[in-house]
Amino acid sequence: MSQTDDAAVVMSGREADEFVVSLIQRSGPLTTREIEIFAAQEGRRCPDQTVVYLTKLMRRGLVNGEVSVEKRGWIWSVPQPQTPPG
């Protein structure tokens, strides 16, 4: 852990949910590391290890996760709203 990680405030589950979803909506798909960097810049961190927390969000349907060979890790995005058949 770096000094930045030590000084970071651990977000509650609800805060982390809102932070991650909002960040991805604003920035577009991000790697796990990019999410960690954005959080650290704001002095925050997820309640668990970032990848573990993101996996929990994926299981709840709040984010999509996909392995990227190019980026050598996971890429996270927000699910697109379903449009009703018309």
Looking at the structure of the chain, the number of domains it has is 1
In this structure, what CATH number is given to the domain that contains residue 51?
1.10.10.10
Q: Which range of residues forms the domain containing residue 9? A: 3-77
pLDDT in tens, 47-69: 999 999 999 999 999 999 999 99
Model pTM score: 0.83
Write the DSSP assignment of 5-42 as a string of letters: HHHPEEPPHHHHHHHHHHHHHHH-SEEHHHHHHHHHHT
pLDDT in tens, 24-42: 999 999 999 999 999 999 9
Q: Is residue 30 part of a domain?
A: yes
